Amino acid sequence: MKEYNITKKAKSHLSFWIVMLLCTAMIGVSCWFAYTQTSKELTMELDSVLGDAPAETKLTLPAVTIPAQTTAQAVAAPPVVPVTMPAQTTAAATRPAAEIFAPSQTTVQTTATETETETVPPTIPSRYPVEGAMIQPFSGGELVKSATTGVWQTHNGIDIAASLGDEVYAMDTGIVESVEEDPLWGVCVTIDHRNGIFSRYCNLNAGVTVTAGDQVTNHTVIGAVGDTADVESALETHLHFELLQGDKYIDPVDYIEG
């Protein structure tokens, strides 16, 4: 009886371990099957995703090729090109500084021409307004007795003998500043020569041929000799001619002949 119980107990233990072994084996097989199935599904899904992706998104790095020209430029230094200065430049460099910076003759002549055109005339006039003998000179600030009034006074111009109607010319290039009838000096024309000199022609007749603003030269007839200057009516027919530099009277003879 005792041996029977031991045998039964041993069989019971053996059955337990067999069942445990079978359970373990079944669990292991289940796990392996599940792992295999899952891995297969993941692989299929990954292949499907990669297969559907566009070509440019695939993890393939393009080969980088450096162009031969770029490589050559990076490795080889650029050639040194010799610079040859033109013969004219080299010659200029060897010239003295005074010659280099001095303006050319052509430039000077051009500037002189432009200045002469814009500013007015030469400073030395070329003619007397009329041809004739001088009957009364410039007094230079000294008092002289007037043959007409008998009064001692300065004679601020020169009197040139002429006949009634003789043409009177502008002394030089300029612009007519005014044409007026003075109570003492009669019909007078004043010309601005644009160099600080003003010329005044008095005792003209009424037939003046210019007006204020006219441009004149030494060939321009501005009027004719008259007898309108009451202050010198005692003298023979003549032109009273004055020159002013600024507001100062100067001797017309010194200016014209000097």
pLDDT for the residue numbered 173: 96
Evaluate if pTM is beyond 0.85. no
Q: Taking the domain 134-257, which CATH number applies?
A: 2.70.70.10
Per-domain residue ranges of the chain: 2-52, 134-257
pLDDT tens by residue, 105-145: 444 343 444 444 445 444 455 699 999 999 999 999 999 99
pLDDT for the residue numbered 46: 59
pLDDT tens by residue, 21-50: 887 878 877 777 777 776 666 667 656 655
pLDDT tens by residue, 160-202: 999 999 999 999 999 999 999 999 999 999 999 999 999 999 9
Q: What is the DSSP string of the chain?
A: -HHHHHHHHHHHHHHHHHHHHHHHHHHHHHHHHHHHHHHHHHHHHHHHHHHHS-GGGSS-PPPP---HHHHHHHHSPPPPPPP---HHHHHHHHS-HHHHHSPPHHHHHHHHHHHHHHS---SS----SS-S-EEE---TT-EEE-TTT--EEE--SEEEE--TT-EEE-SSSEEEEEEEEETTTEEEEEEE-SSSEEEEEEEE-S-----TT-EE-TT-EEEEB-S--GGGTTSPSEEEEEEEETTEEE-HHHHHH-
